[in-house]
Amino acid sequence: MFRDSDDNTNPGFDNEDHLISRESYLESIQKYEQNLVTNFIRYEGETYTWKRGKDGYLFKYKGKKSDGKYAFYIQDDLYMFHENLKKIFIFHDYRNAEGQAEKPAPFIEGIPSNLAFWRHSEDGLYFYKNHQRVLNLSNTYQKDDLIIFDPSSNFLFKLENYRNIIDQQLRVCGILTHLNTNMNIWKGDTTGYYFFQKGKRKKGGTNKYQGDDLILTFDDGEQFLFKNYRNSKDSILREAIQLKSI
């Protein structure tokens, strides 16, 4: 199970993004969801084919070998991102297909390139952006949702109901529209508080109440106010007000 942490523990990709607006990302989600309704899984005869060999899969586009960007299992099926074709191809029953003849490859299309995806399996989180898995990003729970801090896009991605879903299904990431990674962010719960600065959790400092607010002061002189902290132990992320800077 995933826990609040400073970082994921495995090495990953460090990709630069062209920053996009929240509005553009939300429009992409809407487009993706519309495509799922009209074109969830499609076939185009022998245009796209696959087979499993001893060294992995062989995927062909119009009879010619074409490599995908990243592939992952969902149960016995292999899902393969293809960046150039802007599709996710599905190799049904791939685990058991070694030695079998070429088969048509169904696909999901209409995937905007700026969308991020996630799935939750028994061994933890899989987060995909730019058609590849990304690790080493700070994260925290907001109630049952998992929030991922992504400084490269400036978004806080929301993995809705992550805590309760462990089915390996691929889902598109939402975003928090009122916060970004450049903000100073806090949350309170029954165990205390969490503070995030520039997309990473920052620990230490001393704190004191000022009425129902909490004042957090670090050794370097930075000081922050958590508005109405005493009554906000609800695990909701909020912006911290900076009282003093370095």
pLDDT tens readout for residues 30-40: 887 776 655 55
**pLDDT given for residue 42 in this prediction:** 77
* Residue pLDDT, tens place only, 206-243: 999 999 999 999 999 999 999 999 999 999 999 999 99
C-beta neighbour count of 31 within 10 angstroms:
14
Residue holding tokens 């799935």? 119
Q: What is the mean pLDDT of residues 160-177?
A: 91
What one-character DSSP code corresponds to residue 101? P
pLDDT of 13 > 60? The answer is no
**What percent of the chain stands above pLDDT 70?**
89
**pLDDT given for residue 37 in this prediction:** 57
Task: Measure the CA–CA gap between 52 and 59, rounded to whole angstroms.
Answer: 9
pLDDT of 5 > 60? The answer is no
User: What's the chain's Rg over C-alpha atoms?
Assistant: 21
Lowest average pLDDT, out of 136-145, 163-172, 187-196, goes to: 163-172
Q: How far is CA 177 from CA 8, 25, 26, 38, 158, in A?
A: 24, 10, 9, 27, 10
Q: Are 195 and 202 in contact (CB under 8 A)?
A: yes
pLDDT of 7 > 60? The answer is no
Task: Measure the CA–CA gap between 28 and 118, rounded to whole angstroms.
Answer: 16
pTM of the entire structure?
0.76
Q: What is the mean pLDDT of residues 141-158?
A: 96
Lowest average pLDDT, out of 5-9, 88-92, 191-195, 203-207, goes to: 5-9
**What percent of the chain stands above pLDDT 90?**
59
C-beta neighbour count of 79 within 10 angstroms:
20
- The per-residue pLDDT of the chain, averaged, comes to 86
Q: What is the mean pLDDT of residues 29-50?
A: 76
